[in-house]
Amino acid sequence: MARALLFGTPVSPGIAIGTVRFMHRMRQDEERRIRAEQVAAEQDVLRAAAADVRAALQATMENVPEDLAEYRDVIAAQMEIVRDPKLLNAALARIARKQVCAAWALKLTVDELCTLFRGMDDPYLRDRAQDIRAVGLRLRDRLSADPAQDAGSEPGVLAAEDLSPADVMELDLDKVLGIVTTEGGPTSHTAILSRGLHIPGLAGVTGLVDIAREREPIIVDGLGGCVLLGPDEADLARYASRRDAYTAWETRTLKAAHWPAEMCDGVRVGVQANLENPSELAAAQECGADGVGLYRTEFAYFTDRLPTEEDLLQEYADVARRLAPQKVVFRTLDVGADKMLHAQAVLKEPNPALGLRGIRFCLRHQGIFRTQLRALMRAGANGNVAIMLPMVAAMDEVQQVRRIMQELHQDLSAQNLPHAAALPLGIMIETPAAAMICDALARECDFFSIGTNDLIHYIMGIDRNNRHVAYLNEPLHPAVVRSLKRVIDAAHREGIGVSVCGELASDPFGLALLLGMGVDTVSAAPRFVPGMKHLIRHFNAADCMDLAHSVLLSTDVAASKRMVRETLQQSLGHELAFHTTSLFTHSQP
């Protein structure tokens, strides 16, 4: 039996067996009183550590490759935190006032600031707590008399409170067998990194830092969502067998990835990839995706200057050309909430998630928006391009965009610039308002794409980053399920296609339900596409429709979960254990 069993949120599937390697040394912080004459020297030690950390972060930022350019802003923000008087000056003052060593003063200051920021309503300010903690850990390591430990010096499972982009850039990724963190979730750096490396990952592992020991044996179950510390021989043998079985299954699904996703009774479903940037194009082609259901365009804007039309055209045209004749759905700029842009930072909104983001931002800043639309229309001459608008809540927003595109068509024609005169224009259904007026919106749009992540959070009235209400992040809640069905039916009545690009599409339990409700296309990160296509080939359309009908009639979430699990158990048998799901991980408060 293992010494300890911990649970977390699976963010990347698979099973890893190795030893614990902490990203930052996990040890008792030095708590030492000093004499008055030692204060100045101790303050100098802290200032020197801060200077070293700033220099190290600067060097790391300069070495960030272009395909990870979005990391530079986060690293730059951490550099500013090191300079921020709220951190450094407060710690220096605490050394003098309390007559304590630099490490102790730093710990007290970081804890105080993190508590302050985590208690704020603004999700951006709450996220600053993670940056402060990351900087604090770096400063603590510099203050240590021991040489810094290299977390990637030998193969192991990386353990940390959280991973920042600067941490990622300093790792020898070839030696990371798995990743577990106490913070983060499905969209964290932990999730993105572990999925990109095709290694198991768990986030939100409660008690990890306090319980785990450096170099002790560990098993990471990225399928079941658990961590075994100090496993015995029976545990090691059992999980080694499961790991081998999962690896063999994943190999089989990858070999069949280019086969069509056709259900047992002949119903074919499109399975597309969601991409962050051009560097993922090869992964999209290898995974057998039927095009791109969501291409996020924000990363070109995460620099010190706004991209030009030619900058954007080069990126978009390259993507469209390489994937032609398959369709690429480009989502227009979606800033706000968890995606900040320099032009928006000055607004200092009290609640960015409900503020000027998505299409609202674009229609307010039409200079930025028109530049992007011109680039997309010109890229349309190179391939099969469609445009998708985020955060739509009103008919007028779509109508305004159509008028702008008509004006741009006339301008581009007058300039004799090759472009697509009429690109398909669709919207993301992610606000309750859009779900309520979906029948009218369907008459204005060429397609719908349901963003289940935001839609669920807005319907349930929760903040995705607040663990205290995580139990309400419930895709099978009657309000959510019935809203999804309403949107799908409205789209089909008007003869337009409807896809789902949120996390629910890659969840086996959610996928069966969505197919039963009539979704035409699903999309997810490239890593999940082969498994999704494999799943669909095991489903029967009639059975999925019966399941959806039963769930739609149910008002009991627990009963709905049982129905979904029983249906999938019948369809997949033992293979069900090879798929991760978040539908069964939320607990009541």
Between helices 529-538 and 557-572, what is the axis angle to 10°? 80
* 165 lies in the same domain as 131: no
Instruction: Give catalytic status of residue 586 as yes or no.
Output: no
* 86 lies in the same domain as 164: no
Q: What is the CATH number of the domain that holds 207?
A: 3.50.30.10
Range of the structural domain that residue 565 is part of = 442-588
- With beta carbons less than 8 A apart as the criterion, state whether 362 and 333 touch: yes
Helices of type H across 281-394:
281-286, 309-323, 342-345, 359-364, 366-379
* 411 lies in the same domain as 304: yes
Share of residues in the chain with pLDDT > 90 (%): 54
- With beta carbons less than 8 A apart as the criterion, state whether 332 and 389 touch: yes
Within-domain flag for 431: no
- The separation between CA 534 and the C-alpha centre of its own chain, rounded to angstroms, equals 23
pLDDT at residue 588, as a whole number: 42
Helices of type H across 119-207:
123-143, 165-169, 189-197
| pLDDT higher than threshold 70 for residue 344 | no
Tell me which residue of 227, 169, 214 sits closest to 19, measured CA to CA.
214
Query: 């859009």: which residue's tokens?
Result: 434
CA distances from 583 to 236, 425, 580 (A): 27, 32, 9
Q: Are strands 201-203 and 176-181 parallel, antiparallel or unpaired?
A: parallel
Tell me which residue of 544, 430, 548 sits closest to 481, measured CA to CA.
548
If you count DSSP H runs as helices and E runs as strands, how many of each does the chain have, helices first? 23, 16
The Cα–Cα gap between 467 and 230 comes to 28
Within-domain flag for 46: yes
- With beta carbons less than 8 A apart as the criterion, state whether 564 and 547 touch: yes
Out of 144, 174, 202, pick the residue that ends a domain.
Answer: 144
* 447 lies in the same domain as 582: yes
* 340 lies in the same domain as 416: yes
Query: Would the CA dihedral through 350, 352, 354, 357 be positive or negative?
Result: positive
Average pLDDT for residues 228-252, to the nearest whole number?
93
DSSP string, 81-120: HHH-TTTHHHHHHHHHHHTB-HHHHHHHHHHHHHHHHHT-
Tell me which residue of 526, 88, 73 sits closest to 285, measured CA to CA.
526
- With beta carbons less than 8 A apart as the criterion, state whether 449 and 427 touch: yes
Average pLDDT for residues 201-207, to the nearest whole number?
88
The amino acid that residue 306 corresponds to is L
- With beta carbons less than 8 A apart as the criterion, state whether 329 and 297 touch: no
Which residues fall in the annotated binding site?
296, 331, 430, 453-454, 464
Within-domain flag for 15: yes
pLDDT at residue 165, as a whole number: 63
Which residues fall in the annotated binding site for Mg(2+)?
430, 454
pTM of the model: 0.74
Contacts (Cβ under 8 Å, ≥6 apart) of 305: none
- With beta carbons less than 8 A apart as the criterion, state whether 533 and 271 touch: yes
pLDDT at residue 507, as a whole number: 87
Share of residues in the chain with pLDDT > 70 (%): 84
Which residues fall in the annotated binding site for phosphoenolpyruvate?
296, 331, 453-454, 464
The phi, psi pair for 488, rounded to 5°, reads: -60, -45
Within-domain flag for 456: yes
- With beta carbons less than 8 A apart as the criterion, state whether 195 and 12 touch: yes
pLDDT at residue 402, as a whole number: 97
Write the DSSP symbol of residue 330. Answer: E
| pLDDT higher than threshold 90 for residue 581 | no
Query: 């999938």: which residue's tokens?
Result: 568
* 134 lies in the same domain as 174: no
* 156 lies in the same domain as 16: yes
Q: What is the CATH number of the domain that holds 551?
A: 3.20.20.60
* 45 lies in the same domain as 83: yes
Categorize the per-residue pLDDT at 492 as very low, low, confident or very high, splitting at 50, 70 and 90. very high
Out of 219, 249, 279, pick the residue that ends a domain.
Answer: 249
Q: What is the largest CA-CA distance in the chain?
A: 83
Within-domain flag for 275: no
**Highest mean pLDDT of the ranges 90-104, 197-211, 378-392:** 378-392
pLDDT at residue 194, as a whole number: 76
Out of 423, 458, 488, pick the residue that ends a domain.
Answer: 423
Average pLDDT for residues 69-88, to the nearest whole number?
71
Rg for the chain (alpha carbons), in Å?
25
Categorize the per-residue pLDDT at 111 as very low, low, confident or very high, splitting at 50, 70 and 90. confident
Instruction: Give catalytic status of residue 189 as yes or no.
Output: yes
| pLDDT higher than threshold 60 for residue 349 | no
Query: 């308002």: which residue's tokens?
Result: 433
* 324 lies in the same domain as 389: yes
Categorize the per-residue pLDDT at 426 as very low, low, confident or very high, splitting at 50, 70 and 90. very high
Catalytic, out of 24, 189, 409, 419: 189
Which pLDDT tens digit goes with each residue over 126-143? 556 767 877 887 888 788
The Cα–Cα gap between 480 and 478 comes to 5
Q: What angle do CA 351, 355, 360 make, to 5 degrees?
A: 165
Within-domain flag for 269: no
Catalytic, out of 101, 362, 501, 544: 501
Question: Which tokens in the block code for residue 521?
Answer: 């296309």
Number of domains in the chain: 4
Average pLDDT for residues 215-226, to the nearest whole number?
92
* 80 lies in the same domain as 164: no
Which pLDDT tens digit goes with each residue over 545-556? 999 999 999 999
Within-domain flag for 433: no
Within-domain flag for 435: no
* 161 lies in the same domain as 241: yes
What is the three-state SS of 546-588? HHHHHHHHCCCHHHHHHHHHHHHHHHHHHHHHHCCCCCCCCCC
Q: What is the CATH number of the domain that holds 110?
A: 1.10.274.10
pLDDT at residue 11, as a whole number: 83
The answer to whether the peptide bond before residue 147 is cis (omega within 30 degrees of 0) is no
* 70 lies in the same domain as 115: yes
Query: 């993105």: which residue's tokens?
Result: 192
For the chain, how many residues are written?
589
